[in-house]
Amino acid sequence: MKKEPDQKKLAALVKGIIEELGEDPAREGLRKTPERVAKSLTFLTRGYRQNLKKVVNGAYFESGTNHMVVLKDIELYSMCEHHMLPFYGKCAIGYISKGQVLGVSKLARIVDMFARRLQIQERLTEEIANAVMDETGAEGVGVVIKAKHLCMMMRGVEKQNSEMVTSAVLGSFREDAKVREEFMSLVK
């Protein structure tokens, strides 16, 4: 696990950026900005300092069935690794257990752990799917993320209504079209 970022060092770097942009970091509205941004970046990247086993914290529960479990509309907030601008949206996770389920809040915590890093949506989707598969020992896993990217909305092509959709399917979700169709119909 990585160590906490040095807040003073981060703040000094932010101050340098403010100066390079042509602003005065001593101006009233900017005086505490370097420290605030340092704290914000530390929070927004806390996933680097989290461990999957600690996030899940042993929250496994016996379940006599092997039916599909789906949690959808999990809000996510991340930062594009190319421009360090936010992207945000919702994630849906489905899995077919093998007699054991994961505490429902742990699914949302897994999403947060991987989202709170510099990311691309494609990798984020895959990381969540692999983590759920590893932690549940499921027969299959499906993950769908729908997100808006400020790097596309605020700059570059400036497309305000674009939404990126990514999916990752593992195990029976990949191998069995009926399982995959059931999952996709449940997350629509």
Which tens digits make up the pLDDT trace of 40-94? 999 999 999 999 999 999 999 988 778 899 999 999 999 999 999 999 999 999 9
Per-residue pLDDT at 31 exceeds 90: yes
Query: Do 30 and 103 share a domain, yes or no?
Result: no
Residue 73 domain boundaries: 57-187
Number of domains in the chain: 2
Residue 37: pLDDT band (50, 70, 90) is very high
Q: Please report the pLDDT score of residue 172 as a whole number.
A: 97
Query: Taking the model in full, what pTM does it have?
Result: 0.95
Query: Do 91 and 11 share a domain, yes or no?
Result: no
Four-point Cα dihedral 100, 101, 103, 108, nearest 10: 140
Considering the chain, what percentage of its residues have pLDDT values greater than 70? 99
Q: Please report the pLDDT score of residue 36 as a whole number.
A: 98
- Does residue 10 sit in helix, strand or coil? helix
Half-sphere exposure of 4 (CA within 13 A, CB side): 8
